[in-house]
Structure 1
């Protein structure tokens, strides 16, 4: 259960009752009334802004509303106190019975605790990674892969029907460059000196492709003009690169549901059909754009182009969809691809892009709005850069790419769990520092270790309790009354709220932040037991008390495991 949603409903019921009694005027909008954890836990268990947001429209002083609301809420036996603070915030303290019930719910629901029906089966397509199939994935792709996969897990946990999708950019000039680069490695496999000209891909990963080409085609392409081998080698090399990318994703624990090809849009009428849909809406026309920012009439030549009227759907300028030679711009196949997503019946589209796609956001949102008649929203999340360090110094460690650090480099250095968790310690649009030494430290400064250590400590407690004879049944939890114990339960109670909040704003990093806070609460209680034996989870010779205290540990382990599963990180039974 989401305890905060439940008590918000209680507050709303009280406001309705106050309205019926004439204490509040009719017609007030309660939509902005919230019930949340207070900024300072010392103020209470929950706080509501009801009096603050209703005072002006009600024509009353905030404290006057807060005091009337407090008096009404105190008739609920679950509310131990309701105190008006400052100009009119209302702080609530709940009875210990409420926290015992929360703990019982965690234990009863187990892996289902925190799951939500918020998504109501909404069909959502999450497109992420979508790296060009020209080489192994680099560290920037790594962060996008983790964010996209964790967001998909989060949305599924919150009741959405999620499809993970990878868009293969195999329709542009970059795959021709790949073919030419692979051809040089093919020549190398035959004992020739490769001519890696400027603009070709120099990475050693293509040596294996060249050898595979030799094994498949022998010497039939040697000394042949490009027109003879380009198509064949392009297809062969692209398939090999995608196999490598799939292996890279698997090493990170990412599995896509769908792979869609840009190349498949060409020559099939897909692009033409999508553009015709926009033309039928009066959104395709021939025209001349204003000079781009920073350009002057002297260094810019106006020319008539085929344009998409994206300004009709919120863009800053209209966008070209056809080149002067009659070919499509890169935007046209992207329109067709998103048209295909709309046609597949998705209710929500989410694209995870690199930070260099910032200028792409408005035009793509405009295209989807036009194609779906504003029915299907498109959310775009930009992934900022990852800066690599070791012991505080910039770190470069590429083994195969030649020019960048690969996903596989990172995973082999620190492991998939560490990679995933650290990539989620900051919001997607904030630059992230990744220090290879620090992320392997065994200290509370390392969040992934700290959370997994809490998981391992929980299992240690449960093993000791089992040795005493505890059978894992839910005991009487009313004996858990110490502030430190109740504080941990309060943090557990926040989990369903965190799930819904993070899912609503598409921010899986909130789960990582919450788990760090939960682990800190658990370790704090553990450490207090060193000084206060009565707070230790295992009470020698007292099975009943041990059962209650280990129930709290077990519930903590449940929530940590649920949160780590969303992040794609393993919960630990023990640390070595």
Structure 2
């Protein structure tokens, strides 16, 4: 398993103990050589009443051990019962092993948090990963749907970086298709308008929003009326380049409002221009492998298929790599299909050293996944992998009612309008507070509420409440309590953490201890929403313990006549604060020390 920072977190520690017990059994019983112990995991049980952790060791090793899973589980359990960290071991069902740890284990887990600080849960030694996200066509301002993909991709990249991977954040600029020619014609209309012409209603098929007026004005200032004397073939490249550059500048500004910045902007046009046609090279590469042939596609069943033509044409043998049908690469007008350019682009990623690729796509691209994964298998000879994460639609509401469209964009609400209204933090957190492939209801009014029903407020308030407790402790009992986080953590590291013994305290410590395991699982599944869910649960338990202290004075964080217990509880508060700050940072959300 990957190396996790300077000391093992609790779940990794227990997993190592389970592995040791299994290896000892393997040596004793002469199991076959080369057994894969990486399939053995230790996870929180679905039902907390079953214990603190559960392992599948007996279930996955029974075949190699030539034993029934239940019998093997009993053998493993017998060894684990002698472990000083484990209070109780139970075998359940067909062979699951449930573990209950001694209370001291949770105190030591908190000590690990204090020792590691911002590195708690960080994993060392990942792979090189390319995460491509947003990649909106540069034909207009970004809308709310783009916003969700942008936040998801950015948070996923940050999560993978925290999990030790070398991540490149990439944006693919679709600047070579017919849509950018439509953009140019739309901008040219606004250019004529800027020169004083009454253009009337925007013709059908052109982009109607006001956002192209500045492009038209800039063209008029730069070229005067010279473009009017040119044919479309003459002015189109100039207008197209100006419009794309302006739209990309606006897109980058919109993304910056969400604190999203890409490492690489890759132009689709660069694949075919400059005397180095990468699309043709990729087709030749696939032809040499026998993955391309001349043939006819059968007529589609059901609804019409966009890329089907009843003619002899150049086809990629996608069915050899798991797709449903073979796919065309060249249209009847001899131009490349979008798919041909996408194959070349992904081969280019692999050639740049990215064997692991993640693409974040919109909801309308689900049918494209199989063919793209087939292409990656073919162009990398199976050495590359492509995981496509589909981001579903966002329903924008205000107090439960749909929000009207933007005048500026013409037919949608822009990303910038939403960020300007509710703020970067609310947008980022709430875009992740639902799994990426589920439709998201985003209510502009509810994300501004200061209540438990507003997850981003509730989590940020948990961090601020922790700092409020520190301020109160400094005023009432510990004037020497450092304000500097590193110095405070070092001071609290000397606490008698074994004093944390109340069930409510132990539950909170258990939640903190799960953080590294949760991050590992979230990174492995490419699911940053798990962090948002976890942070809300952690904040909820913290707020609940604070509330209990109002009714039960012995549970208060500050006990004026027991400095030692207070210091231990402040260490627990620091554990909460550290983990909330860490998780929020991965999501790109601020962790405030105060909230007004």
Residue 218 (structure 2) aligns with? 212
Alpha carbons 1:399, 1:409 under 8 Å: kept: no
In the superposition, relative to structure 1, how do residues 399 and 546 fare at CA in structure 2: closer, same or farther (>3 Å)? farther
Q: How far apart are the structure 2 equivalents of 1:257 and 1:58?
A: 49
CA RMSD in angstroms, aligned pairs only: 2.0
Question: What is the Cα deviation at residue 222 of structure 1?
Answer: 3.3
Deviations 1:199-226 (A, max 9, x none): 1111111111111112212222236432
Q: 2:382 aligns with which of 362, 367, 374?
A: 374
Deviations 1:22-71 (A, max 9, x none): 4x966776554332112222332112233455567767565544443333
The range that moved more, 480-489 or 215-224, is 215-224
Q: Secondary structure at the match of 1:16?
A: helix
Q: How far apart are the structure 2 equivalents of 1:108 and 1:301?
A: 64
Q: Secondary structure at the match of 2:332?
A: coil
Q: 1:92 aligns with which of 99, 108, 121?
A: 99
Residue 523 (structure 1) aligns with? 543
**Counterpart mapping for 1:138-537 below 5 A:** 138-195=143-200, 196-222=202-228, 224-267=230-273, 268-294=276-302, 302-467=310-475, 468-469=478-479, 470-471=481-482, 472=488, 473=491, 474=493, 475-537=495-557
Question: What is the Cα deviation at residue 497 of structure 1?
Answer: 0.6
Q: Secondary structure at the match of 1:276?
A: helix
Residue 574 (structure 2) aligns with? 554
Q: How far apart are the structure 2 equivalents of 1:280 and 1:176?
A: 34
In the alignment, does 2:77 pair up with 1:70?
Answer: yes
In the superposition, relative to structure 1, how do residues 6 and 138 fare at CA in structure 2: closer, same or farther (>3 Å)? same
In the superposition, relative to structure 1, how do residues 496 and 371 fare at CA in structure 2: closer, same or farther (>3 Å)? same
Deviations 1:350-393 (A, max 9, x none): 11111111121111111111111111111111111111111112
TM-score (norm 2): 0.91
Q: Which runs of 5+ in 2 are unaligned?
A: 1-7, 483-487
Q: Secondary structure at the match of 1:290?
A: coil
Residue 115 (structure 2) aligns with? 108
In the superposition, relative to structure 1, how do residues 301 and 152 fare at CA in structure 2: closer, same or farther (>3 Å)? closer
Alpha carbons 2:40, 2:56 under 8 Å: kept: yes
Q: Secondary structure at the match of 1:539?
A: coil
In the alignment, does 2:567 pair up with 1:544?
Answer: no
Question: What is the Cα deviation at residue 138 of structure 1?
Answer: 0.8
Question: What is the Cα deviation at residue 177 of structure 1?
Answer: 0.9
Alpha carbons 2:209, 2:407 under 8 Å: kept: no
In the alignment, does 2:14 pair up with 1:7?
Answer: yes
Q: How far apart are the structure 2 equivalents of 1:145 and 1:197?
A: 31
Question: What is the Cα deviation at residue 418 of structure 1?
Answer: 0.6
Question: What is the Cα deviation at residue 325 of structure 1?
Answer: 2.2
Question: What is the Cα deviation at residue 113 of structure 1?
Answer: 0.6
Give the paired residue count.
Answer: 570
The range that moved more, 301-310 or 368-377, is 301-310
In the alignment, does 2:37 pair up with 1:37?
Answer: no
Q: Which runs of 5+ in 1 are unaligned?
A: none
Question: What is the Cα deviation at residue 536 of structure 1?
Answer: 1.3
Alpha carbons 1:397, 1:409 under 8 Å: kept: no
Deviations 1:221-249 (A, max 9, x none): 23643233211111111100000000000
In the superposition, relative to structure 1, how do residues 494 and 323 fare at CA in structure 2: closer, same or farther (>3 Å)? same
Q: How far apart are the structure 2 equivalents of 1:54 and 1:339?
A: 39
Alpha carbons 1:136, 1:401 under 8 Å: kept: yes
The range that moved more, 89-98 or 373-382, is 89-98
Alpha carbons 2:136, 2:146 under 8 Å: kept: yes
Q: How far apart are the structure 1 equivalents of 2:551 and 2:309?
A: 78
Q: How far apart are the structure 2 equivalents of 1:228 and 1:254?
A: 36
Alpha carbons 2:32, 2:64 under 8 Å: kept: no
TM-score (norm 1): 0.94
Alpha carbons 2:405, 2:411 under 8 Å: kept: no
Question: What is the Cα deviation at residue 507 of structure 1?
Answer: 0.7
The range that moved more, 170-179 or 325-334, is 325-334
In the superposition, relative to structure 1, how do residues 333 and 56 fare at CA in structure 2: closer, same or farther (>3 Å)? closer
